[in-house]
Amino acid sequence: MRWPKYWSLSFRICPSSEHSGLISLRMDRFDLLAANQAYIRSNAQLRRLQADGNFHPYDTHSNTYYLKTFGHNTMDAVPKIGYYRNTGSVSGVKINRPSLMDIHEQLAKVCQRKKRQIISFVLLNTDGNTEEAESNKEEETKGGFVKFGWVKGVLVRCMLNIWGVMLFIRLSWIVGQAGIGLGVIIILLATMVTSITGLSTSAIATNGFVRGGGAYYLISRSLGPEFGGSIGLIFAFANAVAVAMYVVGFAETVVELLKNSNAIMVDATNDIRIIGAITVVILLGISVAGMEWEAKAQVILLFILLAAIVNFFIGTVIPSNNEKRARGFFNYQASIFAENFGPDFRGDEGFFSVFAIFFPAATGILAGANISGDLEDPQAAIPKGTMLAILVTTIAYVGVAISACVVRDATGNVNDTVVSGMNCNGSSACALGYDFSSCKTQTCDYGLMNNFQVMSMVSGFGPLITAGIFSATLSSALTSLVSAPKVFQALCKDNIYRALHFFAKGYGKNNEPIRGYVLTFIIAMAFILIAELNTIAPIISNFFLASYALINFSCFHASYAKSPGWRPAFKYYNMWVSLFGAILCCGVMFVINWWAAVITYAVELFLYIYVTYKKPDVNWGSSSQAVYYINAIDSALELTTVDDHVKNFRPQCIVLTGEPMARPALLDIAHSFTKNNGLCICCEVYTVKMNSGMATKQAWLTKNKRKAFYAAVAADSFRDGVKSLLQASGLGRMRPNTLVLGFKKDWKEATAVEVENYMGVVHISTISSMHVGEFNQRLLEASSQFKKKQGKGTIDVWWLFDDGGLILLIPYMLTLRKKWKDCKLRIFTGGKVTRLEEEKMASLLSKFRIKFADIHIIGDINMKPNKESWKFFEEMIEPYRLHESCKDLTTAEKLKREAPWKITDAELEAVKEKSYRQVRLNELLQEHSRAANLIVLTLPVARKGIISDYLYMAWLEILSRNLPPVLLIRGNHKNVLTFYS
């Protein structure tokens, strides 16, 4: 036999210092058999080399060490399932792969050191993970976890729950009301709903590891906590009520037996309540004893149930005696089949009311999924067990319905035979020798319409049917009693409803939800007191249908979202069939009982809104997130086709907060005018090694309800980092147009380079046509200034120069916020103090539709400041002056070269009028706006190379000295306001 030959493709990084960046591509043809033999030889050779001390890790010619599998000769990890597990995985331990940084550092060490025993390190790392996984697996085994396969865990449970009380007690009545034809349609319609839901459940269940929680887990992980949390409560409640339904069905059968023996304790209704209460207590004891006991009880009950069903079919072919004939049973008769084929609805019953009573029989399809956490392999067990259970039980239901060879009404009196010459009513019973015409005028006790124990009467051995009824009802009740607490516990563990976290605690080796059992017991007892099966059944039909609708919609939504994470192993589903199933479930809810459907949806909507408002701290990678992403991409692309217009302008800000939590006041003021209005990106520039806490900082913004993004860059300087942010931030039309930064309050102590970098940011924003906002506030009010309500006060806008209107727009947007709504705008501007000037400004503001309280024309802005103020300014800039005019030319030139950042006498003289204006403005601000909540002021323009950095910083310092918080704004001189419609 010849082994095939293969091509191998490998990349090799040369370790030498000369070729440290070289990557060579090598293609070899190798023989698989030779490789295997070489691998065997390499193990023996490696051991010999290690024993002799001659092993060299780079000696690829003398040994075949490097033919070994990747992962044994490199820190770069080979694929392992442990890397992809969740932290809390019960199927194995999550292990952490080496990071890229670890690999880079390891590579550097290898290149620097010529001799290193890498093998022992890597093997130790690998073995450590294996030992950890094995130890955890041993702990899991020692813990005594009970896990079920697909037969005992899913198939048996689903069959027992579907073959519930309806099969033995109500199916004959349903056939009597709807007829065989419509009765089979009712069964098939319910099967259609459950089959589509089963396909959807199988698809979702095979799209990843399934934990405990059944329908709640499937829906919540697909559609998110809002839908999952709302349906989880409803589904758990429905299962709790189902316990009552099955127990009442069991109690009805016992009461029938007591009637036949004349052993009624009180009356029929109260006896059902007494027997039901005793039964549910016993079932609670079995459930609390643990899943092992419950599973053993289920298997025994299944055998009894199967024997009872077979017993019924055997009874249909055994010739009936007179007593059975008097009760309406005549074996298989074509005339009876024809008579029973059509409907005969009586009282207030109709097709959908009968369907509502039958539908709970189909609700057992999730019995296996509800204990998904207790299955060995949920992904394989749920599809196989659920779909097979639906098929087998549907065949049994249809078979029993077709075999309903009993007339609708019978007296039970053996003497009601047809006498010769008697005028019979033409019914099939008359043709077979019995006259039940008296049932038209009085209520009879037998027949499909009157006797709920028809199957017991037809069967070959009646007591076995009774045992089957007990088996069906008790097993279904037991399954629901286990399912409800399991679902409820999973919901409570996720802490979606914090008030219910009390019920999350589990006990024993199987983490049994004892508290949930007690709650389910209380709910079941409350509904057992109703003691009427036909009243309880429609109540839970709507709840189960709502759950099924959301399961189907979950499957459709996950497929529609086209998320790469949607990869179900179960392929026999279709997204449009799932959508049809969801619509079908909703439609059936309304035709069964429209007001109950409305109540169900109202409760679900309330719970949905509650969970949405509370925003639980969970992230399950739901399909809703995938759809949000797709919609965002589509909207962003559509936005690129829309041209900018002044009416749609909104500030889209880069806010230089650094860490968002480091400058809360700056973030708060920016967020006040960007929330729900524009883009806000909190940015941080790293001039040293960039850390990996970006997700944490974004989470902080979300937790503190800041509608903002976080971005960070690494750069050689603060200025270069901001430049990168301005160029690269945003997407399409959602690009920043405004830079917001805090005032550098430590500029006097900072180095010249730091001041230059800060000023460079201001210059970059102006030359890149960005709007600029600089924020300065009193040090006493550091972090909480803008978190609290501002109360009645003013926002003073000093609109000194026309920058396009941004200085008006932002204060106006602030007044729209709840915290600022009591503040009024006061507008200050320079000019001649005349009535005409005020009217012109008022007219302009009214055209802009901006409400204002006062307009003040300041006529003495260009006056010189008083001596004290100017002296303070001169003293402030004194440490940064060059004073070159007092020195000779050579010395002056030398000083300029040594300290180019200093303020020269020539510069100070050239811009003296501007310096006067800044100092004078501070005097006016203190005179008019000392009590304002916020001052908004036009930011002075400084041209690079004309105004030195320290002189400009002194201007900003003197402008905001001894004032409330000051927001300096400079628009890019493009209109952001318009008075055209």
CB 197 within 8 A of CB 581: yes
Residue 12 has pLDDT above 60, yes or no: no
What pLDDT is recorded for position 795? 92
Residue 582 has pLDDT above 70, yes or no: yes
Residue 589 has pLDDT above 70, yes or no: yes
Inter-axis angle of helices 752-767 and 718-728, nearest 10: 20
685 - beta bridge partners? 713
Work out the pLDDT band at 105, boundaries 50, 70, 90. low
Q: Which of 143-147, 249-253, 856-860 has the lowest mean pLDDT?
A: 143-147
What pLDDT is recorded for position 67? 40
Q: Which of 24-33, 498-507, 572-581, 734-743 has the lowest mean pLDDT?
A: 24-33
Pairing mode of beta strands 680-686, 709-714: parallel
Work out the pLDDT band at 868, boundaries 50, 70, 90. very high
The pair of three-digit structure tokens given for residue 372, joined into one six-digit string: 């998904």
Q: What average pLDDT score do residues 838-862 get?
A: 86
The three-point CA angle 746-750-751 to 5° equals: 165
What pLDDT is recorded for position 847? 85
Output 415 or 109, whichever has higher pLDDT.
415
Cα diameter, the chain? 150
CA distance 396 to 167: 9
Output 842 or 980, whichever has higher pLDDT.
842
Residue 634 has pLDDT above 60, yes or no: yes
CA distance 37 to 81: 29
Q: How high is the mean pLDDT of the chain?
A: 79
Residue 32 has pLDDT above 70, yes or no: no
Output 11 or 200, whichever has higher pLDDT.
200
Q: Alpha helices, DSSP H only, in 529-655?
A: 533-561, 575-592, 594-614, 623-640
Please state, in angstroms and as integers, the Cα–Cα distance from residue 688 to each residue in 106, 174, 456, 691, 721, following that order.
22, 78, 84, 9, 11
Pairing mode of beta strands 854-858, 823-830: parallel
CB 27 within 8 A of CB 7: yes
Work out the pLDDT band at 389, boundaries 50, 70, 90. very high
* Phi then psi dihedrals of residue 5, to 5 deg: -105, 145
What pLDDT is recorded for position 578? 93
Q: Which of 79-93, 787-801, 894-908 has the lowest mean pLDDT?
A: 79-93
289: nearest Cα among 629, 615, 6, 517:
517
Residue 794 has pLDDT above 50, yes or no: yes
* Phi then psi dihedrals of residue 856, to 5 deg: -125, 125
CA distance 244 to 540: 10
Residue 394 has pLDDT above 90, yes or no: yes
Please state, in angstroms and as integers, the Cα–Cα distance from residue 627 to each residue in 206, 208, 556, 640, following that order.
21, 19, 12, 20
Residue 364 has pLDDT above 80, yes or no: no
Please state, in angstroms and as integers, the Cα–Cα distance from residue 327 to each residue in 260, 424, 440, 445, 448, following that order.
15, 18, 15, 9, 10
Q: What's the per-residue H, E or C state across 515-528?
A: HHHHHHHHHHHHHH
E strand or H helix at 136: helix 118-142
What pLDDT is recorded for position 17? 35
CB 865 within 8 A of CB 872: no
Residue 812 has pLDDT above 70, yes or no: yes
Residue 777 has pLDDT above 60, yes or no: no
What pLDDT is recorded for position 15? 36
The pair of three-digit structure tokens given for residue 783, joined into one six-digit string: 């972090």
Strands across the sheet with 793-798, in order?
709-714, 680-686, 653-655, 738-742, 771-776, 966-970, 934-938, 793-798, 823-830, 854-858
Work out the pLDDT band at 109, boundaries 50, 70, 90. low
Query: Could you tell me how many helices (H) and strands (E) the chain has, helices first?
Result: 34, 12
Q: What average pLDDT score do residues 840-862 get?
A: 86
What pLDDT is recorded for position 601? 87
What pLDDT is recorded for position 426? 60
Q: Which of 17-26, 377-386, 491-500, 898-907 has the lowest mean pLDDT?
A: 17-26
Neighbours of 351 (CB within 10 A): 16
Residue 369 makes CB contacts below 8 A (sequence gap 6+) with: 154, 201, 205, 210, 214, 215, 218, 378, 382, 386
Inter-axis angle of helices 533-561 and 225-260, nearest 10: 150
Residue 282 has pLDDT above 80, yes or no: yes
CA distance 861 to 798: 12
> Is the C-alpha dihedral spanning 830, 831, 837, 841 positive or negative?
negative
Best-predicted range by mean pLDDT among 479-483, 643-647, 739-743, 772-776? 739-743
CA distance 574 to 858: 73
Q: Which of 755-759, 767-771, 864-868 has the lowest mean pLDDT?
A: 767-771
Using a pLDDT cut of 90, give the percent of the chain over it: 12
CA distance 224 to 586: 20
Q: Give the position of tokens 């719970």.
A: 607
The pair of three-digit structure tokens given for residue 625, joined into one six-digit string: 């997130």
Report pLDDT digits (tens) over 203-220: 888 887 777 677 788 778
Q: Give the position of tokens 């941080």.
A: 684
Pairing mode of beta strands 771-776, 966-970: antiparallel
What pLDDT is recorded for position 390? 93
Q: What average pLDDT score do residues 791-809 get?
A: 88
Q: What average pLDDT score do residues 566-591 get?
A: 89
Secondary structure letter of residue 641 according to DSSP: T
264 - beta bridge partners? none
Work out the pLDDT band at 442, boundaries 50, 70, 90. confident
Burial class of residue 38 (count of CB atoms within 10 Å of its CB; 0-12, 13-18, 19+):
middle
> Is the C-alpha dihedral spanning 879, 885, 888, 893 positive or negative?
positive
What pLDDT is recorded for position 140? 41
> Is the C-alpha dihedral spanning 227, 230, 234, 239 positive or negative?
positive
What pLDDT is recorded for position 424? 67
Output 980 or 710, whichever has higher pLDDT.
710
CB 969 within 8 A of CB 673: no
275: nearest Cα among 287, 262, 264, 288:
264
Report pLDDT digits (tens) over 50-103: 444 444 444 444 444 434 444 445 565 656 556 555 555 555 676 776 664 565
CB 979 within 8 A of CB 848: yes
Domains of the chain: 161-614 (1.20.1740.10), 648-775 (3.40.50.620), 786-980 (no CATH)
CA distance 921 to 506: 70
Q: Which of 18-32, 38-52, 815-829 has the lowest mean pLDDT?
A: 18-32
Residue 146 has pLDDT above 50, yes or no: yes
